[in-house]
Amino acid sequence: MKFAKIVFRIAGIWGLLIITPLYFLFDVIGRQDPPPITHPGFFYGFVGTALAWQIAFLFMASDPVRYRPLMIPSVFEKFSYAAAVIILVSQGRMHSSDLVFGGADFLLGILFLISYFKMAPRNA
């Protein structure tokens, strides 16, 4: 249980630190990585949804046994982003430096899977 608490606490804090600034970088992203974002609703919707998951990770860290079922969609959240980054980089639609973030999510997804199986109920 301690492993899962640490993993989900790290994931939640890391995510809060990485995602929260996006609320203030809408125009900067468009200037540094053209073209400008044309659908702010999708952008801010993504940021809000991603931020909500970081808060969920912190809840999961508080009681991994109770929140074990949420580990399944958490793994999907991490692997789906990692897969998207890999595909978009391979298509030349993202910078290869973005693989750092995809790799971090992939690693967290692996750690979430390990946590899920370590938290499996024991047969008496």
Count of the separate structural domains present in the chain: 1
pTM value > 0.85? yes
Residue 85 CA to residue 91 CA, distance in Å, equals: 10
Extract the tokens encoding 90.
């391979």
Strand, helix or coil at 44? Answer: helix
44 assigned to some structural domain: yes
124 assigned to some structural domain: no
Residue 36 CA to residue 99 CA, distance in Å, equals: 21
Query: Which amino acid, residue 121?
Result: P
123 assigned to some structural domain: no
102 assigned to some structural domain: yes
Residue 57 CA to residue 66 CA, distance in Å, equals: 12
Among candidates 63, 98, 59, which has minimal Cα distance to 81?
98
Per-residue pLDDT tens for 64-111?
Answer: 999 999 999 999 999 999 999 999 999 999 999 999 999 999 999 999
